[in-house]
């Protein structure tokens, strides 16, 4: 199984977003403190997410300003949209200005569709369907 780290500054808020809103499955115990870590199984078979605290100042600054991007190809984006519908707000502005805890809705690109989802800390998950 591939495990991808996603850094956070608040484990409780991350659990709410990834497990409650995006419906990722919690693996193991739930976080017991704000700076703890936990595992989830993501929407892609064979991939888990290790939600872990940003332990150094530089990483915390990056998360508070811009986050980072994770891209998943060959994904059923309509299914993802149905999964998050009414749980994560759709943002109707330009995707470059996508605020935390919002999604882009379905977008067209040459050869397929995609959806961008921002977590509470500015990390962007991109799901593509080609």
Tell me what pLDDT residue 93 has.
Answer: 92
How far apart, in whole angstroms, are the C-alpha atoms of residue 78 and residue 127? 10
Residue-range definition of the domain harbouring residue 74:
2-129
Residues of the chain with pLDDT under 70: 1, 56-67
- Other Cβ atoms less than 10 A from the Cβ of 129: the count is 19
- C-alpha separations of 99 from 15, 27, 44, 114, 130 in Å: 19, 28, 24, 17, 26
Residues pairing with 26 in the sheet: 40
Tell me what pLDDT residue 5 has.
Answer: 82
Tell me what pLDDT residue 123 has.
Answer: 84
CATH number assigned to the domain comprising residue 77: 3.10.180.10
pTM exceeds cut of 0.95: no
How far apart, in whole angstroms, are the C-alpha atoms of residue 105 and residue 130? 16
Sorted by sequence, the CB contacts under 8 Å of residue 72 that are 6+ apart come out as: 43, 44, 125, 126, 127, 128
Tell me what pLDDT residue 63 has.
Answer: 59
Total domains present in the chain: 1
Specify the DSSP class assigned to residue 91.
Answer: P
């Amino acid at each position: 199984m591939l495990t991808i780290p996603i850094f956070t500054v608040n484990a409780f808020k991350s659990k709410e977003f990834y497990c409650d809103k995006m419906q990722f499955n919690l693996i193991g115990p739930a976080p017991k403190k704000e700076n703890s870590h936990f595992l989830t199984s993501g929407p892609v078979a064979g991939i888990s997410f290790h939600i872990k605290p940003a332990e150094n100042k530089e990483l915390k600054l990056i998360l508070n300003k811009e986050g980072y991007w994770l891209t998943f190809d060959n994904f059923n984006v309509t299914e993802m949209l149905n999964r998050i519908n009414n749980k994560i707000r759709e943002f109707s502005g330009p995707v470059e200005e996508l605020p935390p805890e919002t999604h882009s809705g379905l977008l067209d690109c040459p050869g397929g569709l995609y959806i961008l989802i921002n977590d509470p800390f500015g990390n962007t998950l991109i799901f593509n369907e080609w």
